[in-house]
Structure 1
């Protein structure tokens, strides 16, 4: 439960208080309300409500802690500012204060009884038995940076705000006529007949003369431009650099083994064959044949046309690998026994156990190496951090990157001419670079001849590099890329001819010539699509979605065309499949709920804008900047 809360509780209240970045500047702009000079410790003032520096920094800390837990790494202030987290925190505080001001103006109050009931009903405060547990409650507040007094105060405010917004956005009426029309429009489908004109069908493209090739080369220099390359000397610190310094005793290994003994328990496993029938009667027939003495493979072959291998598809399984409707029966069998017909997720099953492996507990000797590796990995983090500090200190003392690496006992490596895509000058991938995107990002952000900062790569260790050279992007000479240029030029000519051919065919269709006649004249088969919607969903894979959308703009018999990866597709609308509103009541109801939510959000945005006009909002940007500089 606590792990669930650490990852973000999904109830409406915790989304408001403990969730990640849920507010957007799409609601209002904020530039016009930032002004210096609020009095005392106040950084934000909304009407008569003042928000102090401590409230802002606490809210910012909670947001950053939530992000750190979600992303699995330390979330720095620099990263937060890059994502405008401080601005979003301010905007959230302003929103809360606006709603609180309005609640106060309307005389809305939340009593102690309602607060207690709300706290006791929150799933995040319950123990494993589903009961409210004060120790869980207190621990959850501590994890999320709240004292009980702060939490109760925020909850009281939140419940009063909920009453304000709830009166506005709950039970939003949605027109049945509007819903039905939108559903009919969106669920309507089309069926098309189409032909495909392929680029490859155009053969015998002659080579271009020098003038044509030169013109194409000049007009498409980006196709023949070598990317920017950079070279570097770098040090990549990983767990392997400190493994030899990690001491793991036999007692340590024994202790971890004892503490996690359940993890080393291997459950009973069974090798299972199965036959799946469409009906219970067919399954009973199969079971009867088995009872007569026929082999499992023979029955599968006679009744299901399966070969012997197909009856072994389940292989070695544990009880949890099987659906509940099958697991109990299978694990009650003895070796060689067969189940009666069982209803399962894909039909009626007849299953046979061919081998049983009893449950066991892996002995320490079997898992010793794995446990030691786990302990080494866990303890290497601190050692690796110390090594990175030693490297940083050596560099700070004036050593070069190579000298500093030698001083701490690691090797400085070199990479020569790598592009942003991790390819070398031979256009082949460099596979021995440090993992993750940080290496190339750091290299291409570091000026020539300079060293980067020490970069924390998380589970991948630490990285620091020196940019040792930049080769700017440049266009390759035509002679060095002549063959490629000729290939591209030919492909372009095929594309142009295919486009012209498709235009002529489309004109013939629009002139009244049947698609069947055109198909025969160019020896290209007609294909028919399954019904598809306005987004192209449901259409065959080789019917471009852009064409599907175009066909919603024509009448039956109308035509359109669209490019695809391999050519052009010309389609003729054959049928309009109207949506059946009455037959899809569940989908219509879901659409009505979506409309209600969207209308509710629109009303909330308009309401917030109105509150902004009614309650004066002031933000002391200078004070906020000072707080962030000291954060």
Structure 2
């Protein structure tokens, strides 16, 4: 008995030691005793900075996809690694700025604080209470935020020092502007088979043989994979399913919101930090100083960011009565919302809609029958898999199950029947002769299995089998050759000052074309051709079933005084300078990282990541 008591006390001692150890580790989790994930040079890399960077990256990815992204999905895109690299680069620059003695003074920091909208009161001046409240919501102290701001300003100074000497790429921009903005003025006309003075004779046997020999790809059948398959889809057995009226009524009631919809509104909601800001915005709007779109832009948002879609009155809370009493285009508020005080714009009225049980019954019956058919197929898969494992052939499966047997000489361009399913096409393209047959899924939750019986390689069809197609193709080509020859004769009579009308053509005059211009009715290489021509030159272009005569009338440089040219030159110069500056800074940052000691505790990083899951 004494031995048992001794063992029991020993267990309690171990438990107490474990609890004390956990308490020493920090009951506040990673935000308690563990504050950093590592160091870069002499700078700590805080858990909070890594968390904020990771959150920002995940939100950006969610915005890109238009839907919330889970942490596991973000990890699949490497977002956690990108966030870690970003914070390491930031701290590398912070460390270098500190080593060089670059810093921002208190006056500059406070001046920057006054510019941040979230810290401003109703009059636009710095509000210390707003400042404290925002930082409290973010889990930061004033000292931490101001140090972060000071380091950010120092990084900006460092980056400016690195790339500040990059000259404007004026010569580069000018050359591009001259190339892009150079203009061509042309006259062109169309010539077709109506211009021919005699019919094109039919193809002789020697003509047919020559065309057939010169164009074998046009008469070659693609590779065909000869496949035997079995399949079963919900649609095949849906009519056999029994659906009761009780089930239909139950589904109708479960989804009553789909069939009985109250009156709704299309609404946009613009949220503000506090009621004073929202009220000030409403006053500016009522005074006509700004539009609603201006207010949205002031918040750094787009209309898509504030769109609530179609909503009912109850979902709008305090704003419901006012929004539903408003006319389309009216802005009401501010009213409290789940995100703070907000202005609401009502854009359209959606009338109430009701679909009766009787009206909904056919669609609901079909839906329930399809669900039942899918369930039957799902229940039968184990039996089918067992039969395949036992060596059953496609023919056996068709005989012993509800699956239907079929054969197909499959090619990549087929898209009918079972070949309309992507799952089947992928399997048909990769299956090999003699491989073990597997049960595969179809997009509509049907199933199939297949067997490759043989492969027919690409086959040139005998001339006698495709003679009519050869005749038709030869005739088309011969007619186009005749049109091109006739057009060349006409073009010989066109000179620089000659009117196209003198040779019986109706001209089209196209002035001031650039390389980006599109001229309807011309072949794809029209622009390439005219920018190769000299003034007065006439060319004949092949336009498939007709021909184009084009004459270059004038070449003009871009107008150096036009707003478009000036804007293009400035934009190109800025883009080029920015690109060069970015390349220089990237090279500098890479060199800096190579000579800066980086120590990251991967265990701590993993623990932070675990909190996101």
> Which category of TM-score, normalised to the shorter sequence, fits these structures?
0.5 to 0.7
- Sort the Cα spacing of 1:606 and 1:258 in 2 relative to 1 into closer, same or farther, 3 A: farther
CA RMSD after TM alignment: 5.2
CA displacement 1:237-294 (0-9 Å, x = unmatched): 323356589897777766654554433234669xxxxxxxxxxxxxxxxxxxxxxxxx
CA displacement 1:363-417 (0-9 Å, x = unmatched): 44433443454456567666544534432221111211121233332222233x4
Question: Whole-Å Cα distance in 1 between the matches of residues 80 and 526 of structure 2?
Answer: 57
**Corresponding residue for 1:571?**
550
**Corresponding residue for 2:192?**
198
Matched, 1:141 2:71: yes
8 Å CA contact 1:226, 1:476 repeated in 2 = yes
Question: Whole-Å Cα distance in 1 between the matches of residues 423 and 588 of structure 2?
Answer: 44
Matched, 1:236 2:215: no
Residue 421 (structure 1) aligned to one of 413, 421, 425: 413
**Corresponding residue for 2:441?**
456
Question: Whole-Å Cα distance in 1 between the matches of residues 186 and 417 of structure 2?
Answer: 51
Residue 182 (structure 1) aligned to one of 147, 170, 176: 176
Q: SS at the partner of 2:482?
A: helix
**Corresponding residue for 1:527?**
508
- Sort the Cα spacing of 1:594 and 1:371 in 2 relative to 1 into closer, same or farther, 3 A: farther
Matched, 1:538 2:518: yes
Residue 563 (structure 2) aligned to one of 563, 576, 583: 583
Residue 59 (structure 2) aligned to one of 124, 134, 142: 124
Matched, 1:548 2:533: no
Q: SS at the partner of 2:513?
A: coil
State the Cα distance separating 1:463 from its structure 2 match: 2.6
Q: SS at the partner of 1:405?
A: helix
- Sort the Cα spacing of 1:391 and 1:119 in 2 relative to 1 into closer, same or farther, 3 A: closer
8 Å CA contact 2:540, 2:550 repeated in 1 = yes
- Sort the Cα spacing of 1:491 and 1:121 in 2 relative to 1 into closer, same or farther, 3 A: closer
**Corresponding residue for 1:53?**
none
Matched, 1:160 2:140: no
Question: Whole-Å Cα distance in 2 between the matches of residues 218 and 140 of structure 1?
Answer: 59
8 Å CA contact 2:195, 2:486 repeated in 1 = no
- Sort the Cα spacing of 1:112 and 1:481 in 2 relative to 1 into closer, same or farther, 3 A: closer
8 Å CA contact 1:193, 1:573 repeated in 2 = yes
- Sort the Cα spacing of 1:164 and 1:213 in 2 relative to 1 into closer, same or farther, 3 A: farther
Higher mean C-alpha displacement, 106-115 vs 473-482: 106-115
Question: Whole-Å Cα distance in 2 between the matches of residues 192 and 256 of structure 1?
Answer: 68
- Sort the Cα spacing of 1:552 and 1:457 in 2 relative to 1 into closer, same or farther, 3 A: same
State the Cα distance separating 1:193 from its structure 2 match: 0.6
Question: Whole-Å Cα distance in 2 between the matches of residues 528 and 264 of structure 1?
Answer: 59
Unaligned runs of 5+ in 2: 1-36, 94-154, 265-308, 312-324, 331-348, 597-613
State the Cα distance separating 1:548 from its structure 2 match: 1.3
Question: Whole-Å Cα distance in 1 between the matches of residues 50 and 590 of structure 2?
Answer: 29
Higher mean C-alpha displacement, 482-491 vs 592-601: 592-601
**Corresponding residue for 2:451?**
466
- Sort the Cα spacing of 1:530 and 1:436 in 2 relative to 1 into closer, same or farther, 3 A: farther
Unaligned runs of 5+ in 1: 1-99, 128-135, 270-317, 321-326, 333-355, 423-429, 616-631
Q: SS at the partner of 1:545?
A: coil
Q: SS at the partner of 1:404?
A: helix
8 Å CA contact 2:484, 2:540 repeated in 1 = no
State the Cα distance separating 1:194 from its structure 2 match: 0.7
- Sort the Cα spacing of 1:469 and 1:145 in 2 relative to 1 into closer, same or farther, 3 A: closer
- Sort the Cα spacing of 1:156 and 1:528 in 2 relative to 1 into closer, same or farther, 3 A: same
- Sort the Cα spacing of 1:197 and 1:330 in 2 relative to 1 into closer, same or farther, 3 A: same
Scaled by the length of structure 2, the TM-score of the pair is: 0.53
Question: Whole-Å Cα distance in 1 between the matches of residues 445 and 395 of structure 2?
Answer: 21
**Corresponding residue for 2:385?**
392
8 Å CA contact 1:193, 1:571 repeated in 2 = yes
Matched, 1:516 2:509: no
